């Protein structure tokens, strides 16, 4: 695995197959698709940023790279993608094998170009959209978090404020002396024209002729824009005083009803306002939502409390009355935002569901951030929001206006991307828009091998496939950058290629690709059976790449390259991505959105949590994710990505309750208690959104957060379990049983 991580350290790429099956048939026999997880703007401190424009192949437009063959005498380079011969322009005249430009250095397979003329003068824009249909206590938490966030905004950024409950209020920030708002009815969607009309954008000017998209370029004066979007440094006072005065939605709520909350109308107003004022700039709508949407086209439930909010069962039976309408609304909103180049960030904080499942499409297609917490007072929300703006501790590197393109050798083509982006549907070229992206954003690229036959050995041809990933984006400093990553992978075909394929298999990357694929299929394919699909895939893989004598399960073994893949699939089957019925649709949408944007290492933790054991007997050591890891005199630290659990065995808990750690003679015990806290702090510091921390004791109610993730090797129906340990109340099969079945099926397959 180390060499795969090294490649990731150079290019931000992990591929499931690092030796590529060379034909369509070979690829289909490999079951796991030829695929890559790519982090387009992963920071590389030693990566050069070139202050000039890239050289492009005049035939296929791919960018000059270290795999290009260069003829220094003739001053010609041959494109590895289309074999076109290209002349170097005059300013490359001094090129020689001793005088290479950086883009031809073999180690710079990932490089950036910065176009000097293109630095954007457009400041970042933040449009806060704030739910006021929440209880006073939540209102106070939210106000305090927003006040803090406003204090952290970059001075040059533009800020706007919309609040909503029964009505939508757009706040004018330009005149701090007389607070003024424009109100819109929550039940009706407002078109951009109506919005502009009502807000007096055309008071002193004739309205532009219909059919023209209104925007800064066609008629909106900067004065009228400045009424709603002000530099953070100028409006901090006005904003803070509005927030201070902000009341919860004043409309009375009958006891048998939910609060009136027009989330979708508010978001639509925000999108249209940004579309009119700052089209094409890196603007973010930051939505703070404290309960279910009950009003307008995106409502997820009626106001009547006797109607429950949709569950997975309702969605499964297609009996959620508002779901399709709301999703359709947010699909249209996504389209509008992508067209405008704007991002929707979602901070959903409530005990109830708020509609993350419906909103998902708009957040994901625009590359927005998502945070789900129980309350605006919870650290998961507060600390995550702080991370968005505070750059000393942790820089998310929020960037905008991204376009992602792929070039490949002609025998391979990209089939699709799973990740936070939107297809540009640009005909034959492969391009996607990333309205918002950050240093962690990771795309899953699925490739298709087009070649159907193995070329005749007498025909001279390369046995390398080339891939080039191009990301244009607006760097957080405002300048436009182009990141170019060019890769080459050897392909194999025919008899004898199996050992090469095995040697190039990255089981972690493969597990993550399978997790994204299974989540995607569960969402779009009706009647899809995820367990059956995963099991079939795994059995195929094992029977193709395992070592065994036919019909002899005991002879079965897997190369170290594959050895933990079955375990990943076992945990994936049990994970929140597949066992959705244990969660709400909002939670499932949230987990999948995060899976869909994270890198391999983080995603592996979501699939198979890590467990560390602390005791007096040894230094902290990794423990098997099994109920057998529990012991009375141990502390366990479970990291399941979204939740971190510190679990005290019963003896440890007793000692702690007795206060031993406060006694000078029990320094060692104090240290033991502290060690997992320090380690969890380090994990939390590196992660966005901030995970939930649960500290619990054996046999306590919170212990379920740990038990749910452990392999049930000892359950109430297995014979005797060891003393001081624990058992899990479940009928799930244990990993041992799962592996037995797998070996039996794999050896009988062919
Ligand atoms: Zn070319």
Residues 250 and 358 in one domain: yes
Q: What CATH code is carried by the domain that includes residue 322?
A: 3.40.50.410
Alpha carbons 387 and 25: distance in angstroms, whole number: 47
Q: If you measure from the C-alpha of residue 547 to the centroid of ligand 1, how many angstroms do you get, rounded to a whole number?
A: 42
Within-domain flag for 177: yes
Task: Point out the domain boundary residue: 331, 357, 388.
Answer: 388
> pLDDT tier at 457 (50, 70, 90 boundaries)?
low
pLDDT at residue number 341: 95
Query: What does pLDDT average to over the chain?
Result: 90
**Average of per-residue pLDDT across 409-425:** 92
pLDDT at 712 over 90: no
The sign one gets for the Cα dihedral 405, 408, 411, 414 is negative
Within-domain flag for 5: yes
Within-domain flag for 201: yes
pLDDT tens-place string over residues 346-367: 999 999 999 999 999 999 999 9
Find the length of the chain.
750
pLDDT tens-place string over residues 615-647: 999 999 999 999 999 999 999 999 999 999 999
Residues 95 and 208 in one domain: no
Within-domain flag for 636: no
Residues 168 and 225 in one domain: yes
**Average of per-residue pLDDT across 442-449:** 97
Task: Point out the domain boundary residue: 341, 356, 388.
Answer: 388
Q: What is the pTM of this model?
A: 0.93
Residue 358's CB is within 10 A of a number of other CB atoms, namely: 30
| Percent of the chain whose predicted confidence (pLDDT) is above 90 | 74
Task: Point out the domain boundary residue: 388, 411, 445.
Answer: 388
pLDDT tens-place string over residues 532-586: 999 999 999 999 999 999 999 999 999 999 999 999 999 999 999 999 988 999 9
pLDDT at 209 over 50: no
Residues 176 and 248 in one domain: yes
Residues 217 and 339 in one domain: yes
pLDDT at residue number 24: 94
Residues 250 and 379 in one domain: yes
For 155, the domain range is: 142-388
Distance of CA 595 to CAs 9, 452, 575, 588, Å? 20, 33, 12, 11
Q: Which residues are placed with Cβ below 5 angstroms of ligand 1, an ion?
A: 57, 59-60, 62, 79, 81-82, 84
Q: If you measure from the C-alpha of residue 85 to the centroid of ligand 1, how many angstroms do you get, rounded to a whole number?
A: 8
Residues 209 and 281 in one domain: yes
Q: If you measure from the C-alpha of residue 64 to the centroid of ligand 1, how many angstroms do you get, rounded to a whole number?
A: 9
pLDDT tens-place string over residues 49-90: 999 999 999 999 999 999 999 999 999 999 999 999 999 999
DSSP code at position 217 = G
Total domains in the fold of the chain: 2
pLDDT at residue number 721: 46
Q: If you measure from the C-alpha of residue 117 to the centroid of ligand 1, how many angstroms do you get, rounded to a whole number?
A: 26
Alpha carbons 248 and 258: distance in angstroms, whole number: 14
**Average of per-residue pLDDT across 433-440:** 96
Residues 86 and 66 in one domain: yes
pLDDT at residue number 120: 62
Residues 340 and 424 in one domain: no
Q: If you measure from the C-alpha of residue 413 to the centroid of ligand 1, how many angstroms do you get, rounded to a whole number?
A: 15
Q: If you measure from the C-alpha of residue 492 to the centroid of ligand 1, how many angstroms do you get, rounded to a whole number?
A: 23
Q: Which residues pair with 78 in a beta bridge?
A: 69, 85
> pLDDT tier at 167 (50, 70, 90 boundaries)?
very high
Residues 384 and 279 in one domain: yes
| Percent of the chain whose predicted confidence (pLDDT) is above 70 | 92
Residues 24 and 147 in one domain: no
Q: If you measure from the C-alpha of residue 410 to the centroid of ligand 1, how many angstroms do you get, rounded to a whole number?
A: 10
Within-domain flag for 378: yes
pLDDT at 522 over 70: yes
User: Cβ(640)–Cβ(693) under 8 Å?
Assistant: no
pLDDT at residue number 174: 78
Residues 343 and 315 in one domain: yes
Number of H helices, E strands in the chain: 21, 28
Q: If you measure from the C-alpha of residue 49 to the centroid of ligand 1, how many angstroms do you get, rounded to a whole number?
A: 23
What is the DSSP code string of 62-115?
PBP-TTSEEETTTTEEE-TTT--EEEPPGGGTT-BTTB--GGGSTT-SEEEEE-
**Average of per-residue pLDDT across 724-731:** 54
pLDDT at residue number 733: 76
Dihedral angle computed from the Cα positions of residues 715, 717, 723 and 728, in that order, rounded to the nearest 10 degrees: 20
> pLDDT tier at 495 (50, 70, 90 boundaries)?
confident
pLDDT at residue number 511: 98
User: Cβ(705)–Cβ(636) under 8 Å?
Assistant: no
pLDDT tens-place string over residues 67-76: 999 999 999 9
pLDDT at 325 over 50: yes
Within-domain flag for 369: yes
pLDDT tens-place string over residues 555-568: 999 999 999 999 99
Within-domain flag for 191: yes
User: Cβ(265)–Cβ(184) under 8 Å?
Assistant: yes
Within-domain flag for 127: no
pLDDT at residue number 213: 41
Q: What CATH code is carried by the domain that includes residue 438?
A: 2.60.40.1670
């Amino acid at each position: 695995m180390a060499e795969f991580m090294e490649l990731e350290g150079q290019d931000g790429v992990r591929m499931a197959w690092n030796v590529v099956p060379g034909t369509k048939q070979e690829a289909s026999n490999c079951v796991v698709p030829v695929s890559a997880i790519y982090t387009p703007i992963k920071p590389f401190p030693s990566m050069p940023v070139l202050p000039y424009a890239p050289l492009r192949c005049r035939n296929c437009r791919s960018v000059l790279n270290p795999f290009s063959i260069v003829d220094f005498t003739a001053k010609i380079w041959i494109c590895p993608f289309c074999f076109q011969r290209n002349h170097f322009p005059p300013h490359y005249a001094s090129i020689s094998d001793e005088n290479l430009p950086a883009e031809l250095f073999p180690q710079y397979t990932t490089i950036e170009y910065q176009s000097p003329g293109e630095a954007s003068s457009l400041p970042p824009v933040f449009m806060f959209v704030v739910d006021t249909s929440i209880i006073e206590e939540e209102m106070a938490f939210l106000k305090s978090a927003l006040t803090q966030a406003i204090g952290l905004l970059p001075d040059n950024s533009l800020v706007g404020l919309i609040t909503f409950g029964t009505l939508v209020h757009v706040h004018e920030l330009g005149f701090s002396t007389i607070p003024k708002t424009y109100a819109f009815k929550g039940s009706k969607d407002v078109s951009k024209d109506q919005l502009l009309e009502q807000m007096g954008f055309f008071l002193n000017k004739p309205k532009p002729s219909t059919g023209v998209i209104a925007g800064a370029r066609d008629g909106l004066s900067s004065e009228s824009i400045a009424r709603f979007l002000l530099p953070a440094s100028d409006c901090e006072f006005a904003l803070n005083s509005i927030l201070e005065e902000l009341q919860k939605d004043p409309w009375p709520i009958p006891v048998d009803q939910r609060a009136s909350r027009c989330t979708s109308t508010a978001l639509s107003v925000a999108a249209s306002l940004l579309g009119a004022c700052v089209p094409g700039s890196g603007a973010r709508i930051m939505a703070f939502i404290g309960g279910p949407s009950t009003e307008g086209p995106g409502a997820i439930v009626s106001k009547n409390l006797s109607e429950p909010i949709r569950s997975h069962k309702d969605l499964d039976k297609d009996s959620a009355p508002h779901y399709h309408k709301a999703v359709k609304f947010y699909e249209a909103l996504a389209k509008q935002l992508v067209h405008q180049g704007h991002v929707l960030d979602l901070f959903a904080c409530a005990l109830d569901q708020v509609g993350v499942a419906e909103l998902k499409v708009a957040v994901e297609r625009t590359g927005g951030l998502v945070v789900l917490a129980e309350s605006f007072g919870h650290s998961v929300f507060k600390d995550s929001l702080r991370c968005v703006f505070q750059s000393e501790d942790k820089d998310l590197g929020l960037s905008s206006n991204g376009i992602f393109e792929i070039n490949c050798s002609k025998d391979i083509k990209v089939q699709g991307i799973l990740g936070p982006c939107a297809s540009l549907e640009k005909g034959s070229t492969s391009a996607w828009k990333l309205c918002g992206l950050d240093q962690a954003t990771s795309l899953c690229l699925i490739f298709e091998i087009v070649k159907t036959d193995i070329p005749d050995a007498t025909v001279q041809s390369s046995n390398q496939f080339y891939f080039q990933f191009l990301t244009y984006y607006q760097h957080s400093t405002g300048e436009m950058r182009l990141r170019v990553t060019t890769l080459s992978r050897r392909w194999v075909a025919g008899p004898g290629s199996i050992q090469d394929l095995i040697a190039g298999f990255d089981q972690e990357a493969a597990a993550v690709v399978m997790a994204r694929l299974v989540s995607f299929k569960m969402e779009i394919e009706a009647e899809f059976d995820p367990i059956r699909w995963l099991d079939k895939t795994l059995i195929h893989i094992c029977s193709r790449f395992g070592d065994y004598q036919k019909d002899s399960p005991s002879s079965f073994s897997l190369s170290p390259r594959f050895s933990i893949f079955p375990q990943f699939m076992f945990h994936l089957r049990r994970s929140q991505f597949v066992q959705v019925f244990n969660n709400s649709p909002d939670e499932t949408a949230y987990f999948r959105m995060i899976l869909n944007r994270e890198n391999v290492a983080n995603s592996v933790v979501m699939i198979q949590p890590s467990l560390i054991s602390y005791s007096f007997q040894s230094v902290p050591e990794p423990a098997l994710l099994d109920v057998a890891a529990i012991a009375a005199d141990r502390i366990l630290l479970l990291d399941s990505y979204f939740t971190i659990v510190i679990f005290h065995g019963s003896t440890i808990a007793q000692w702690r309750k007795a206060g031993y750690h406060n006694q000078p003679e029990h320094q060692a015990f104090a240290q033991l208690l502290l060690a997992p806290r320090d380690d969890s702090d380090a994990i939390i510091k590196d992660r966005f959104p901030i995970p939930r921390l649960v500290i619990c004791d054996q046999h306590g109610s919170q212990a379920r957060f740990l038990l749910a993730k452990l392999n049930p090797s000892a359950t109430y129906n297995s014979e005797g379990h060891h003393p001081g340990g624990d058992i899990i109340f479940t009928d799930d099969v244990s990993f041992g049983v799962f592996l037995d079945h797998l070996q039996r099926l794999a050896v009988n397959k062919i």
